[in-house]
Copies of this chain bind each other. A is one copy, B any other.
């Protein structure tokens, strides 16, 4: 599993440094994390890492599209490693994000909508906002 990522890094001439791996590992474990969250996590392992390094890594990882930015209304942006699925259930109350897989039907319908506008669709992202199971109960 790590090999996968290491390979992708090499493909894009990004060196495999411990800091970079820890950042990616953090994203893997968190699913989605903000710059601050990443910084705090990585710091547990690499005491002397700097915020600048986190930013530089996020920037280069975004450029080679190994990760993507998830910008949520009102909250700080979070980042996640790109892999299927690209879709989320986003809780308006607690801010949790759960990944979901798009059904074939949705994919197909989305393509239709796009081609109707002569738009060449490459990626489809569905975000559903509402209340997660927990918050729904404790409302």
Total residues of chain A contacting the partner, CB 8 A: 41
A89 — nearest CB in chain B belongs to which residue?
B119
Contacts of A69 in B (CB 8 A): 71, 73-74
Are the C-beta atoms of A71 and B62 separated by less than 8 Å? no
Are the C-beta atoms of B109 and A136 separated by less than 8 Å? no
Within 8 A of B (CB), among A100-139: 100, 102-103, 105-106, 109-110, 112-114, 117-133, 136
Among B71, B129, B136, contact of A77 (Cβ-Cβ < 8 Å)? B71
Given contacts A72-B71, A100-B117, A117-B89, contact A131 B136 (CB under 8 A): no
Q: Mark A67-108, 1 if CB is under 8 A from B, else 0.
A: 011111110010000000000010110000010101101100
Q: How far is the CA of A90 from the CA of B39 in the complex (A)?
A: 30
Are the C-beta atoms of B119 and A130 separated by less than 8 Å? yes
Q: How far is the CA of A122 from the CA of B90 in the complex (A)?
A: 10
Contacts of A119 in B (CB 8 A): 89, 91, 98, 128, 130-133, 136
Are the C-beta atoms of A113 and B136 separated by less than 8 Å? no
The 7 closest A-B CB pairs, nearest first, are A71-B71, A122-B130, A118-B133, A120-B131, A121-B130, A123-B129, A125-B127
